[in-house]
């Protein structure tokens, strides 16, 4: 609203609860969280259909690299992913830079713990390393094409580096199905860097 954009919202809880019941009586978990994300995507696309808009997705390079997004959910549903090649830490720096001109991005967006907001108390760090640690590892692994051993030799924890590398390799099938983005860094996913998805490739 501060930027002059209209805001529209619709409730997702009733649809999510109904879909979760259809999925079976098992203990709620990631499957139910993903249902909510996909319903958000449906509402977003319905809104765009109705008003002849194109949907933009909000996934950043850190999330795209590690597969931290729901396939066919709001983060991967759309026509263009403007910050697909922008690491999360750079997203924050860009937001702070924009706010120096005029504060259009709420301060709470910049100060609260990052979260997919699919369950109460959820934080990105439940699944991912903190972004100030994750992004330099991704830069070395993806953009500089360094091996796990080389990155560990740079001083990063070996268990974290191996976990991040495994996430990147496992998530190629998601990246192949995500909207196109704008190349910002020296090496973007897509034409610059692709991995096999039809075998059990591991570096």
Domain 13-176 CATH class label = alpha beta
**% the chain with pLDDT above 90:** 60
For 69, the token pair is 């997004």
Q: What is the pLDDT of residues 46-61, one digit of tens each?
A: 889 999 999 999 999 9
Q: What is the largest CA-CA distance in the chain?
A: 53
Q: 163-186 pLDDT, tens per residue?
A: 999 999 999 999 999 999 999 999
Return all residues near 6 (Cβ < 8 A) that are at least 6 apart.
none
Neighbours of 158 (CB within 10 A): 12
pLDDT in tens, 82-138: 999 999 999 999 999 999 999 999 999 999 888 877 777 888 888 999 999 999 999
Pull the structure tokens for residue 11: 């409730």
User: Helices (DSSP H) in the chain: which residue ranges?
Assistant: 13-23, 30-51, 61-66, 88-101, 107-111, 131-138, 148-153, 158-170, 172-176
pTM of the predicted model as reported, rounded to 2 decimal places = 0.86
Measured N-to-C along each axis, helices 88-101 and 131-138 cross at an angle, to the nearest 10 degrees, of 110
Domain boundaries in the chain? Answer: 13-176
What tokens were used for 60?
């950043």
The whole-angstrom separation of Cα 110 and Cα 114 is 9
Residue 108 burial (10 A CB sphere; 0-12, 13-18, 19+): exposed
């Amino acid at each position: 609203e501060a930027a002059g954009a209209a805001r529209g919202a619709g409730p997702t809880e009733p649809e999510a609860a109904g879909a979760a019941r259809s999925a079976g009586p098992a203990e709620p978990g990631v499957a139910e969280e993903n249902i909510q994300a996909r319903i958000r995507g449906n509402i977003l696309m319905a809104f765009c259909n109705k008003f002849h808009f194109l949907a933009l997705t909000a996934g950043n390079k850190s999330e795209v690299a590690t597969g931290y997004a729901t396939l066919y959910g709001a983060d991967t549903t759309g026509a263009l992913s403007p910050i697909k090649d922008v690491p999360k830490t750079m997203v924050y720096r860009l937001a702070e830079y924009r706010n120096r001109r005029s504060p259009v991005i709420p301060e709470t967006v910049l100060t609260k713990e990052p979260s997919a907001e699919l369950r109460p108390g959820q934080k990105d760090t439940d699944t991912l390393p903190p972004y100030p640690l994750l992004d330099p590892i991704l830069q070395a692994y993806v953009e500089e094409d360094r091996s796990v051993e080389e990155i560990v030799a740079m001083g990063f924890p070996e268990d974290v580096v191996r976990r991040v590398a495994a996430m990147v390799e496992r998530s190629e099938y998601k990246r192949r199905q995500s909207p196109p983005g704008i190349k910002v860094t020296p090496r973007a996913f897509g034409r610059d860097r692709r991995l096999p998805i039809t075998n059990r490739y591991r570096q």
